[in-house]
Structure 1
């Protein structure tokens, strides 16, 4: 296994002089889509600072950064849709860390790139940490990597409007069961509609993947986020009192259905965060990342913070 560069950081692209949105639009148009793709693949992440991007110009700029914006269908984290396939970043209490993950790595298909936009900078903290997913893979003990060699089995229980976690209507952005089944049919997932109106979905996915251009192998799953141990001892114990494992809103096992040891979960979570690089926010900043080469998360924050996210294939 190769040893990724531990000194890596995203590339900062700063405004010249006073800087404004017109400058950013002009630079992106001059660069062109092919050069932007090449640069993003080379650098893994790009930070656009000092251009003072406003919500009124955000769509125009996202059209240049994300050639085909995607809806957040089958997404597992709570978000609010605020525009044309633009969403709030995960709505999770501000005092908690969101651990590292590649967006929708549990799904049969995932976005190739993500763009984050800071509409309101946090009062304190609130950085978006990013980690080289190849470095993350390389940092794990051989025992952990070998346990995940055959993949990860995910379980979702999506309720019909009332219950813990997300409803299937919110998850799939539809109220029609046929739409859900049409989405799931080509994914290799198994599902069943439950008597209470909810749906149970199970799917086997790889634990790693390779970048389609560079061929780099990366850690690419959300086992630590889906596992009850990832919630911490108190929260996991409280959930266990409420629901059996097969009724949790989400859960995960090894490929053969055997439990994932809590120590593995802790190692995966902690080493991802340990090797992460913080991207601090100022109002108007943008961050563009390759969603295979980089995983991302969120640091705790104080005060107001509003970061929007959009994604593309």
Structure 2
């Protein structure tokens, strides 16, 4: 099976410490392994240099070039935290959490029990301790039963609440945040995702489809009002460069993405474009969004070709 060489995505430097100090990143190739490492001057209590510390991380040099890899890289582009210190991934769909954890296990050799986790609930923290205890117990049971997280890897505060919300009733099972504490892994993946955006321009239509399936599962939003015949799919992207990349990818798939300056929401509308989303199963990775999308598409029948303006 074809592989992707991770050597091409190794960054040239690392940022570490409270001040974000920059260190040159080096690597060694050991057969099918890629060893990343950097050196930091260490000091004693009197603030004098007393040695050099070496930090390292071992990765497989190659990952499988298949549909799942492109889907998961799309998910990571949309949902992975952009901090320099830890790899953080958050989602409220067990199926997506499982696919992500399985990919890391198979491709980067990271076992399920290495992921620390906590659950964030969009709810005011209950005052009733009995109700709060039962609620948190049910949430932990749900995620332990329906995902690959390990109970013993739970953070001490297993459930957190959002103080700014007005919600007093939970409307879902919360969002689970899974995390690996590794500066090297986190910054390597950040660099991979940045470089991968250009890499994808030269990939096959099937690979672009899989990547955008991951992006939409993470950052897509289905919005419709059948009374006013409004049907749209939004894709959030905070950076203008990301929005332009998404537009290019979807254009390769025959879909027109509307991009607006200084506005992070991009929009897919019009019957032909929405039918292409359906035809390519671009929303099928996220069960909740897919169900809403299918509901929105009811009433549409045969796809209509886009209008072509003559020159």
TM-score normalised by length of structure 2? 0.28
Structure whose residues are more often helix by fraction? 2
Higher relative contact order (CA 8 A, sep 6+): 1
